[in-house]
Structure 1
Amino acid sequence: MNKKWAVKRMTINLASNEAKNLEKYCEQTGRPATDVIRELIRALSITKQE
């Protein structure tokens, strides 16, 4: 199955302790930071505005 992504490149600024936590988590889980961040964004609760 070939996924086509509509890509928007983003840059985030992290405090050094945030970056270290992300790096440690990625090392422990063997997952890339991009996947971890995507998962966190998908888990956000969004309220519909009508």
Structure 2
Amino acid sequence: MSKPEIFVTFRLTQAEKDLLKQYCEQASRNQTDVLRELVRSLHRRLKS
């Protein structure tokens, strides 16, 4: 897999941030991995 070269910054509400944090803790994964997986899943959704 290639090394990531792009940084993306976006705003969340506190509730969204808390939800992301809770999910990451439950899944024992970091936020970068979770968000990267979400972005990759969009490719599958576009094909549908």
Which range, TM-score by smaller chain?
0.7 to 0.9
Q: How many residues align?
A: 45
CA offset digits 1:9-33 (Å, max 9, x no partner)? 1111001110000000011111000
CA offset digits 1:22-50 (Å, max 9, x no partner)? 00001111100000000000011236xxx
Q: Greater CA radius of gyration, 1 or 2?
A: 1
TM-score, reference length from structure 1: 0.77
Q: Percent identity?
A: 38
TM-score, reference length from structure 2: 0.79
CA RMSD after TM alignment: 1.5
Where do 5+ consecutive residues of structure 2 fail to align? Answer: none
Where do 5+ consecutive residues of structure 1 fail to align? Answer: none
The aligned amino acid for 1:28 is: Q
> Map of 1:2-41 to 2, 5 A cutoff?
3-41=1-39
